[in-house]
Chains A and B, each alone.
Chain A
């Protein structure tokens, strides 16, 4: 797999899983646009680490939940590079609440960032991919399918993202654009710590048949594969990255593999 000469935009690429994806694509030769929202220092650090790999990195601040900011970000990319090869819709936000506590403000905030932004970014990205094709990979979560405590709004937004992925995959196929998603179970990041304090109990996490928790790098590896030509015939799919936990019946018991 080589992404030499390719330009990738990773939304929320400054830290967490987005950072791991940005570094993975960069390590295979892609130039990276690191989008961030609140954490400039983290984004600048990631850009520095990307440049150390011998490729270009650009940092762009934009709240992807704000359509005007999405437009500004793509205008900047268009003016500076005139093209885009890979879009990673990774940015996500949300409020840990059960369904009865969800209000309009929390719903709109989460849906705007986690679902609508994927549409708006894909629309703008598709134009920058005109005539050259491209890859779009969005980050879903197993919580779109499994019911996790206090995860309701985020889960719903990820359901929308997965359906959007299928529509984009078919409608953008004639333009040579491959669109897919990945859905991880719990990944070791700050977001996970947030959900543990907001209601998820660490002890409730079922043992993973694969013997350990998913890491940001595990996710980045699958995303990189979906961005490669080797994945050309995979379209509109959501690939589950969970070490087997979601299909494993509680009747099985696992010895930890350490």
Chain B
């Protein structure tokens, strides 16, 4: 599974939203995720990929695509270390 697919799975599991709605352009607001859904998603993604996503960074994501790109970047960085 790609990073994108894994994150989509996690969001769908936590928010109970159909995966087809979680497009790269979708925002948390579009899928009606509340603040608890968002923090639980961040924690689950951190654990799945063994990375840290501080709120200061997460607040910059405009949509799901930004979120995926950030995690992909961090995963690559981690593999290099």
Q: Which residues of B contact A95 (CB under 8 A)?
A: 34-36
Q: Mark A15-32, 1 if CB is under 8 A from B, else 0.
A: 000000000000000000
CB A18 to nearest CB in B, in angstroms, measures 15
Q: Which residues of A contact B43 (CB under 8 A)?
A: 63
Residue positions of B touching A, CB distance < 8 A: 34-36, 39-40, 42-43, 52, 54-56, 58
Nearest neighbor of B42 in chain A, beta-carbon distance: A38
Number of contacts between A and B (CB, 8 Å)?
A: 24
**Contact residues of A between 67 and 108, Cβ < 8 Å to B:** 93, 95, 105-106
CB B14 to nearest CB in A, in angstroms, measures 9
Q: Are A39 and B36 in contact (CB under 8 A)?
A: no
How many of chain A's residues have a CB under 8 angstroms from any CB in B? 11
CB B3 to nearest CB in A, in angstroms, measures 21
User: Is A148 part of the binding interface, using a Cβ–Cβ cutoff of 8 Å?
Assistant: no
Q: Which residues of A contact B40 (CB under 8 A)?
A: 105, 109
User: How far apart sit A95 and B34, CA to CA, in the bound complex (Å)?
Assistant: 9
User: How far apart sit A105 and B43, CA to CA, in the bound complex (Å)?
Assistant: 14
User: How far apart sit A41 and B56, CA to CA, in the bound complex (Å)?
Assistant: 8
User: Is A40 part of the binding interface, using a Cβ–Cβ cutoff of 8 Å?
Assistant: yes
User: How far apart sit A38 and B54, CA to CA, in the bound complex (Å)?
Assistant: 5
Q: Are B52 and A106 in contact (CB under 8 A)?
A: no
Q: Mark A131-165, 1 if CB is under 8 A from B, else 0.
A: 00000000000000000000000000000000000
Q: Are A39 and B35 in contact (CB under 8 A)?
A: no
Q: Which residues of B contact A56 (CB under 8 A)?
A: none
Nearest neighbor of B36 in chain A, beta-carbon distance: A95
A-B CB proximity, top 4 nearest: A38-B55, A40-B54, A41-B56, A95-B36
